[in-house]
Amino acid sequence: MNLILFGPPGSGKGTQAERLREKRGLRHLSTGDLLREAVAKGTDLGRKVKDILASGALVSDDIILALMREEIVRVGKQGWLLDGFPRTVGQAAGLDAQLVELDQKIGAIVVLNVRREAVVERLSGRRTCTQCKTVFHVKINPPRVDGICDRCGGTLVQREDDRPATIEKRLDVYEAQTQPILAHYRGKVAIHEVNGELPVDEVTRFIELVLQ
Ligand code: AP5
């Protein structure tokens, strides 16, 4: 099955995607992770997008559509889980055209609903492992040893775009450019809304329920 995890920055898309990936054998395709990896490696793409990511604005639709087409082709029919894509109505239309060409379909969209205030609290405390990308929160989901990943022993860092002013900007961008995607898909693809403010395990349980 092909799925889209949808929701504002910090709604738990990455957290839930890891669980769905393990349970359902899907390939987790996160545009944010792919772009940050390109920045870390200093590739041409990384140099182009570095400042855009740090500012909280969106990378252009052309760049994102080319990147994701390659990834979707690579995964083939194994089943994918999109996280952070599509992010504009233009990207949604571009994805639709690519899927027709590749004879694939979106099985469902899962929306994680989280209020703005909760997002700010979550993102300002988020820490991410530089090696395995596991996500922690300094208060809600702290690592056993401060600054060290429980899973692989890697170093935990704060993302450059998780600073207060940039978080607010990302939320504005989400409301203006990303939320309208739901209207684009309503009536065409099954859309399941889940309360993303429940504890992590509960959110996972509800996602499994709506996907049954
Ligand atoms: P991206 O990496 O996609 O970031 P995002 O959408 O802003 O989402 P986040 O990764 O911040 O949050 P998340 O929903 O995955 O939450 P998480 O699970 O980490 O994009 C970054 C940038 O890249 C964009 O700003 C843009 O510049 C660019 N970009 C990416 N895709 C693009 C595209 N398609 N087009 C153009 N540009 C693009 O959880 C957050 C925190 O909350 C963690 O600390 C976690 O432990 C905690 N948490 C999770 N679930 C719960 C829970 N249920 N209860 C309590 N705490 C929880």
pLDDT digits (tens, 9 = 90+) for 156-169: 999 989 988 999 99
- pLDDT value at position 144? 97
Catalytic, 126? Answer: yes
Residue 190, phi then psi, degrees to nearest 5: -65, 125
CATH number of the domain to which 16 belongs: 3.40.50.300
> Rounded distance, CA 160 to CA 104, Å?
35
Distance from residue 132's CA to the centre of ligand 1 (Å): 16
**Ligand 1 and 67: CB distance under 6 A:** no
Average pLDDT over every residue of 82-104: 97
Number of structural domains in the chain: 1
Catalytic, 163? Answer: no
| Confidence category of residue 133, pLDDT binned at 50, 70, 90 | confident
pLDDT at 104 over 90: yes
Provide the domain limits for residue 21.
3-26+79-210
| Chain segment 79-89, per-residue pLDDT in tens | 999 999 999 99
Residue 50 lies in a domain: no
Average pLDDT over every residue of 176-194: 97
pLDDT at 10 over 90: yes
Q: Choosing from 27, 116, 159, 169, which is the catalytic residue?
A: 159
**Ligand 1 and 15: CB distance under 6 A:** yes
Residue 69 lies in a domain: no
The C-alpha angle 209, 204, 131, rounded to 5 degrees, equals 150
Residue 183 lies in a domain: yes
> Rounded distance, CA 191 to CA 19, Å?
19
Residue 45 lies in a domain: no
Mean pLDDT score of the chain, rounded to an integer?
95
**Ligand 1 and 127: CB distance under 6 A:** no
pLDDT at 185 over 90: yes
Alpha-carbon torsion (123, 129, 134, 140), positive or negative = negative
Q: What are the helix (H) ranges across 76-177?
A: 89-102, 116-124, 164-173
Catalytic, 205? Answer: no
Residue 72 lies in a domain: no
Residue 40 lies in a domain: no
Pair type for strands 108-113 and 191-195: parallel
pLDDT at 174 over 90: yes
**Ligand 1 and 94: CB distance under 6 A:** no
Residue 59 lies in a domain: no
Distance from residue 11's CA to the centre of ligand 1 (Å): 7
> For the sheet containing 156-157, what is the strand order?
135-137, 126-129, 156-157
| Chain segment 44-90, per-residue pLDDT in tens | 999 999 999 999 999 999 999 999 999 999 998 899 999 999 999 99
